[in-house]
């Protein structure tokens, strides 16, 4: 690579120039005239070169590409790569709250994605296995590589692929580089601007001790948005008792059990620091030390309101769709519920590494790596609810892309603005405190044979050791009543009161509510979303649970009402508690590289190798939870009395533990055949694993008793038998999900920048993890009982197959200014059979039941594509890009709805233009979601899944400044 290109690689956000005549960019027969290109074209050429020269099936985006579009995080940048799709909610089970930035990353329809930083493990404490890519600033990256069928010297753990984040090094550039970029980003629906910036300084010196290089980079990213949504709840099948608008008595229709509005203001500050020092004391020895510290503090404030008591299906104004789903009408006397929710996260990832490389001669290369990674994640969620003694009328039409919903008092003489009619309803809190860390070591030795045209090129052997721990501490979502509910009226504490009569009084309690309107809701296209209602004040919920309770205790009129959670996580079990995991791995691997320039079948090269890895895991969980029979017994009481004896023991104070170990042999083959100078064909085959998540390995067990009043069992156990003894459990004995991967690709490279590639892939996957039912014996107080336990289980098998087609061309043959035009696009098709979805929380029967339904795999879109029109000439670098994916199953069981939720197809238009003022200075504009695309979600099974959610979010426009010295 030329000196200019090396300097460009060290810049944050954009390349200023790249010499396309670099040797690794040229194939034989291409002209070698020097042509300097910049910006988007340099990015695409660099990515093309990495893909063309790679030994494995992979795709890449470079720093230039990341900076060419307004992608604020690595996850958003990744969606431009063939086969990579982005989930736009941070938690699939919480689809009501879309992410301000892209969330989960899927490769070829699967979430089994490994994450690396400079070829080493990196992860987030939120899940302990992979990285939350949205937490990493794109400004720090020199490139991001996606390996789809890697060789044996790559770290194991990603069935769908491995994402390697590559940061810059001081020896990448020929000398001093100083760069700064800044932008101001305006979110139009939020009506607010956010300022971000990054800076980089890098230099290298010749000293008496050898050559030394130092690089320091820092990024501050501020971003925010607003989401407006109208949504219903689950559609409940209802048999009509009378005729209604085309449907007859006895027909089944589907009526939503709730309806309402939601507004979320979200914003995040993300800081990232990256530094590296390199020392080359001699021409054969290089030392590299690196540190990356990334912090993200997203927070959101939500105002949601609606009804939650299902209206009668026989309402005369109701209109039903072709499948019987409620689509429009007027419903009177609805009971309203309002909530204000505050969410706050603090996430930090630290990565420190040291590498030494020694090349004593032309044959040998030795290297060793030591790395330490630590990640922490804290989560705070606090919600307060109010009600209002004013029945409401809902006038709605949900039949189109723009829903209409007007909420007004049923009695015109009443007003939602009357504070004395609002009352304190409930509160809910949730806490998490997670941490994970890992030490790892790696050593490699490679012998390169003489370049004499022989078949064998090199042999590489290596070993790797890791020691990881991950502690997850979390509570369930702790909902509790305050003064009243519609199903429990009569003791309301009203918003203008200081407390429940006879109880504690707080003079400031009336100030803890706020009258909230929805200005410009859905950009004013949905009708009147109400004239305003009284919500809990933001200040009540944004601080901490103790602060909220200092006021809401006075609003409690019921002794068993809401009390905030303790931060002693050992006191919480179902859906929470403490999950302490350890994992140690030992891996050894060997790779042989081979090839011939001339043979009976032509020119070819490749590698063959094997990786053997042994994994040892240990787990400690909260004490076993033991329930209590809730009914008596009047018949055969044998099982009932056995249960009473069982619960008198000390099993409920026993800490849960588990351990497991397994060894995997993972062979791989990568073969490349050069049909012509410009056309190459690849074939790759490998075995891969994806280890269970630490949540799935949680050894915690909850045992329950289920009797009829006469003492007979009323639960269903293994094989369909009746049983009174049931339970739920994680499973520390889980094995990895395993896959055999096959790839066949055809890659045609023509001209200086152009390519046409087709990739075919097939994955045979076994040991999917799902919630199964097993019989397990437990002993307590001398009584041994067989419980039928729902727990995570290996077992299902399936296949994934598909194709990726990508095309890039610059139209240099066009005259004059038109010669700067170019196009880049790709399309991916993925199909799956078999396989199983897994319940995130095995202790939630709604999740385990729905995960067992006959549904496609979560997150898998059959089709996705990217289209980009490009212009690069006369100091102008511009691109208009459209990213689209087809509909997919978002989750088998959404929170609160407890039913499958699907995402409709979604497409988004982004654009950027940068103008080169001089060799040191660029200015530009970037636009995100320029078409103001809406997100549509559906609820139900494949046979009936009407739309239940419509979401509008911001268009964002940024003014960008970039400098280089």
More confident residue, 339 or 26: 339
- Give yes or no for residue 32 having a pLDDT over 80: no
- Give yes or no for residue 882 having a pLDDT over 60: yes
pLDDT at 196: 92
- Give yes or no for residue 4 having a pLDDT over 60: no
Average pLDDT of the residues in 579-604: 94
The 8-class DSSP code of residue 451 comes to: S
Enumerate residues 6+ apart whose C-beta is below 8 A from 712: 635, 636, 722, 724
- 51-65, 131-145, 386-400, 734-748 — which is least confidently predicted? 131-145
Planar angle of CA 557, 561, 564, nearest 5 degrees = 125
pLDDT at 965: 82
> 408-415 — which CB contacts under 8 Å span 24+ positions?
408/528, 408/530, 408/531, 410/332, 410/333, 410/334, 414/390, 415/390
pLDDT at 480: 94
pLDDT at 72: 64
Ramachandran region, residue 525 (left: φ > 0; alpha: ψ -120 to 50; beta: rest): alpha
SS3 call for 44: helix
- Give yes or no for residue 562 having a pLDDT over 90: yes
Q: What are phi and psi of 630, to 5 degrees?
A: -105, 0
Per-position DSSP letters for 736-765, written without gaps between them:
PEEEEEEEEEEEEEETTTEEEEEEEEEEEE
**In degrees to the nearest 10, what's the CA dihedral of 678, 681, 686, 688?**
60
Q: What confidence category does residue 502 fall into, taking pLDDT thresholds of 50, 70 and 90? A: confident
pLDDT in tens, 251-268: 999 999 999 999 999 999
Side-chain half-sphere exposure of 119, counting CA atoms within 13 A = 14
Q: What confidence category does residue 151 fall into, taking pLDDT thresholds of 50, 70 and 90? A: very high
Sign of CA dihedral 411, 413, 417, 420: negative
The DSSP element (H or E) to which 585 belongs, if any, is: strand 577-596
- Give yes or no for residue 240 having a pLDDT over 60: yes
pLDDT in tens, 725-742: 999 998 999 999 999 999
Average pLDDT of the residues in 600-628: 92
pLDDT in tens, 780-836: 998 899 999 999 899 889 999 999 999 999 999 999 999 999 999 999 999 999 888
616-655: string of b/e by CB count within 10 Å (b at 16+)?
A: ebbbbbbbbbbeebeeebeeebebbeebbebbebebeeee
pLDDT at 25: 35
User: Measured between alpha carbons, how far is 201 from 12 in angstroms, rounded to an integer?
Assistant: 10
pTM above 0.85, yes or no: yes
Q: What tokens appear for 265 in the block?
A: 């203001």
- Give yes or no for residue 23 having a pLDDT over 90: no
SS3 call for 547: helix
CB 798 within 8 A of CB 834: yes
Enumerate residues 6+ apart whose C-beta is below 8 A from 353: 118, 120, 289, 290, 291, 369, 370, 371, 372
Per-position DSSP letters for 763-819, written without gaps between them:
EEEEEEEEEEEEEEEEEETTEEEEEEEEEEEEEEEEEEEEEEEEEEEE-TTS-GGGG
User: Measured between alpha carbons, how far is 748 from 756 in angstroms, rounded to an integer?
Assistant: 5
pLDDT in tens, 207-237: 999 999 999 999 998 999 999 999 998 899 9
User: Measured between alpha carbons, how far is 436 from 124 in angstroms, rounded to an integer?
Assistant: 7
Q: Does domain 3-247+267-327+345-964 have CATH number 2.40.170.20?
A: yes
User: Measured between alpha carbons, how far is 383 from 97 in angstroms, rounded to an integer?
Assistant: 14
Enumerate residues 6+ apart whose C-beta is below 8 A from 543: none
pLDDT at 509: 96
The 8-class DSSP code of residue 699 comes to: -
pLDDT at 418: 94
The 8-class DSSP code of residue 399 comes to: S
Sign of CA dihedral 784, 789, 791, 795: positive
Q: What confidence category does residue 101 fall into, taking pLDDT thresholds of 50, 70 and 90? A: low
pLDDT in tens, 35-89: 445 678 888 888 899 999 999 999 998 876 444 445 666 777 788 899 998 887 7
pLDDT at 8: 33
The DSSP element (H or E) to which 945 belongs, if any, is: none
pLDDT at 474: 86
Query: Roughly how many angstroms between the first and final C-alpha of the chain, as a whole number?
Result: 20
pLDDT at 100: 60
- 11-25, 573-587, 648-662, 838-852 — which is least confidently predicted? 11-25
Tokens 């790249």 belong to residue:
18
Q: Give the residue from 162, 223, 216, 211 showing the smallest Cα distance to 187.
A: 223
pLDDT at 78: 84
Q: Where are the domains of the chain?
A: 3-247+267-327+345-964
Pairing status of strand 725-729 against strand 783-810: parallel
User: What is the overall mean pLDDT for the chain?
Assistant: 88
Sign of CA dihedral 225, 956, 142, 758: positive
Q: What confidence category does residue 10 fall into, taking pLDDT thresholds of 50, 70 and 90? A: very low
More confident residue, 124 or 321: 321
Distances in Å between the Cα of 153 and the Cα atoms of 56, 115, 149 are: 11, 15, 12
Enumerate residues 6+ apart whose C-beta is below 8 A from 94: 894, 895
Q: What tokens appear for 882 in the block?
A: 């459209």
User: Measured between alpha carbons, how far is 44 from 18 in angstroms, rounded to an integer?
Assistant: 11
pLDDT at 452: 81
> How many whole angstroms from its chain centre is CA 123?
12
- Give yes or no for residue 367 having a pLDDT over 60: yes
Q: What tokens appear for 340 in the block?
A: 């204000």
Q: What tokens appear for 427 in the block?
A: 């509160």
How much of the chain exceeds pLDDT 90, in percent? 65
pLDDT in tens, 419-435: 999 999 999 999 999 99
pLDDT at 531: 79
pLDDT at 99: 65
SS3 call for 243: coil
Q: Give the residue from 619, 591, 468 showing the smallest Cα distance to 120.
A: 468
């Amino acid at each position: 690579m030329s000196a200019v290109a090396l300097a460009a690689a060290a810049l944050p956000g954009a390349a200023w120039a790249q010499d396309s005549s670099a040797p690794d960019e040229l194939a034989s027969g291409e002209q070698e005239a020097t042509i300097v290109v910049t910006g988007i074209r340099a990015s695409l050429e660099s990515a093309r070169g990495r893909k063309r020269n790679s030994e494995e099936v992979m795709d890449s985006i470079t720093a230039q590409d990341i900076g060419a579009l307004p992608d604020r995080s690595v996850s958003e940048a990744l969606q431009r790569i063939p086969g990579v799709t982005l989930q736009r909610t941070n938690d699939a089970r919480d689809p009501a709250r879309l992410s301000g930035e892209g969330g989960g990353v899927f490769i070829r329809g699967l979430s089994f994605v490994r994450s690396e930083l400079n070829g080493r493990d990196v992860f987030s404490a939120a899940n302990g296995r992979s990285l939350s890519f949205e937490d990493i600033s794109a400004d720090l990256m020199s490139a991001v590589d996606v390996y789809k069928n890697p060789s044996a010297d790559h770290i194991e753990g990603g069935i769908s692929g491995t994402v390697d984040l590559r940061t810059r090094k001081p020896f990448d550039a020929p000398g001093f580089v100083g760069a700064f970029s800044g932008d101001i980003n305006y979110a139009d629906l939020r009506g607010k601007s956010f300022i971000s910036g990054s800076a980089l300084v890098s230099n290298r010196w010749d000293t008496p001790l050898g050559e030394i290089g130092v690089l320091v980079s820092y990024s501050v990213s501020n971003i925010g948005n607003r989401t407006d949504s109208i949504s219903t709840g689950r559609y409940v099948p209802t048999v009509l008792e009378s005729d209604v608008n085309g449907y007859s008595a006895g027909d089944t229709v589907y009526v939503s059990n709730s309806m309402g509005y939601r507004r979320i203001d979200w914003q995040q500050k993300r800081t990232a620091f990256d530094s590296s020092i390199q020392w080359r004391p001699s021409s054969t020895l290089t030392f590299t030390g690196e540190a990356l510290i990334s912090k993200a503090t997203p927070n959101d404030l939500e105002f949601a309101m609606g009804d939650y008591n299902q209206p009668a299906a026989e309402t005369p104004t109701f209109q039903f769709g072709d499948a019987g789903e409620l689509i429009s009408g007027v419903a009177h006397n609805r009971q309203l519920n309002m909530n204000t929710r505050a969410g706050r996260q603090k996430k930090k990832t630290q990565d420190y590494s040291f590498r030494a490389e020694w090349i004593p001669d032309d044959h040998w290369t030795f290297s060793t790596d030591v790395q330490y990674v630590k990640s922490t994640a804290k989560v705070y969620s606090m919600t307060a609810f109010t009600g209002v003694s004013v029945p409401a009328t809902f006038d709605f039409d949900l039949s189109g892309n723009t829903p209409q919903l007007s909420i007004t008092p049923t009695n015109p003489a009443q007003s939602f603005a009357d504070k004395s009619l609002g009352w304190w309803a409930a509160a809910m809190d949730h806490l998490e405190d997670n941490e994970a860390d890992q030490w790892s070591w790696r050593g490699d030795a490679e012998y390169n044979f003489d370049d004499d045209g022989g078949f064998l090129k090199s042999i590489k052997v290596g070993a790797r050791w890791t020691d990881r721990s991950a502690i997850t501490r979390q509570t369930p979502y702790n909902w509790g009543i305050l003064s009243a509910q519609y199903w429990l009226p009569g003791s309301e504490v009203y918003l203008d009161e200081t407390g429940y009569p006879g109880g504690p009084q707080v003079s400031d309690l009336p100030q803890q509510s706020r009258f909230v309107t929805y200005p410009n809701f859905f950009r004013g296209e949905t009708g009147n979303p109400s004239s305003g209602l009284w919500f809990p004040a933001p200040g009540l919920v944004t601080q901490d649970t103790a602060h909220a309770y200092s006021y809401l205790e006075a609003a409690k009129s019921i002794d068993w009402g809401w009390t905030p959670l303790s931060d002693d996580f050992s006191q919480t079990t179902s859906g929470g508690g403490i999950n302490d995991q350890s994992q140690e791995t030992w891996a050894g691997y060997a790779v042989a590289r081979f090839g011939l320039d001339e043979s009976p079948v032509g020119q070819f090269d490749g590698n063959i190798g094997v990786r053997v890895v042994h994994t040892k895991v240990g787990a400690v969980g909260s004490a076993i939870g033991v329930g209590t029979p809730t009914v008596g017994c009047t018949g055969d009481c044998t099982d009932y009395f056995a249960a009473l004896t069982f619960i008198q023991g000390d099993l409920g104070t026993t800490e849960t533990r588990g351990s497991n170990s397994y060894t995997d042999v993972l062979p791989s083959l990568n073969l490349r055949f050069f049909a012509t100078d410009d056309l190459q064909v690849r074939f790759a085959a490998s075995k891969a694993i994806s280890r269970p998540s630490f949540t799935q390995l949680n050894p915690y067990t909850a045992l329950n008793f289920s009797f009829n009043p006469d003492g007979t069992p009323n639960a269903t156990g293994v094989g369909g038998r009746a049983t009174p003894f049931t339970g739920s459990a994680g499973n520390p004995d889980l094995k990895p999900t395993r896959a055999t991967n096959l790839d066949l690709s055809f890659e045609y490279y023509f001209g200086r920048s152009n390519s046409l590639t087709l990739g075919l892939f097939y994955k045979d996957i076994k040991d999917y993890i799902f919630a199964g039912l097993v019989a397990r014996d437990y002993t307590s107080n001398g009584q041994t009982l067989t419980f039928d336990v729902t727990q995570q289980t290996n077992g299902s098998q399936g296949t994934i197959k598909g194709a990726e087609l990508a095309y890039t061309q610059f139209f240099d043959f066009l005259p004059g200014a038109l010669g700067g035009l170019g196009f880049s696009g790709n399309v991916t098709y993925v199909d799956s059979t078999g396989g199983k979805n897994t319940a995130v929380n095995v202790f939630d029967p709604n999740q385990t039941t729905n995960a067992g339904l006959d549904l496609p795999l979560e997150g898998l879109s059959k089709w996705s594509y990217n289209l980009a029109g490009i212009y690069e000439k006369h100091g102008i670098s511009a691109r208009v890009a459209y990213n689209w994916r087809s509909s997919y199953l978002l989750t088998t069981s959404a929170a609160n709805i407890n039913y499958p939720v699907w995402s409709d197809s979604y497409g988004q238009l982004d654009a950027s233009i940068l103008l080169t003022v001089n060799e040191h200075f660029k200015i530009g504009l970037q636009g995100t979601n320029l078409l103001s695309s809406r997100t549509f979600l559906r609820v139900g099974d494949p046979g009936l899944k009407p739309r239940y959610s419509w979401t509008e979010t911001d268009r964002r426009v940024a003014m960008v400044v970039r400098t280089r010295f």
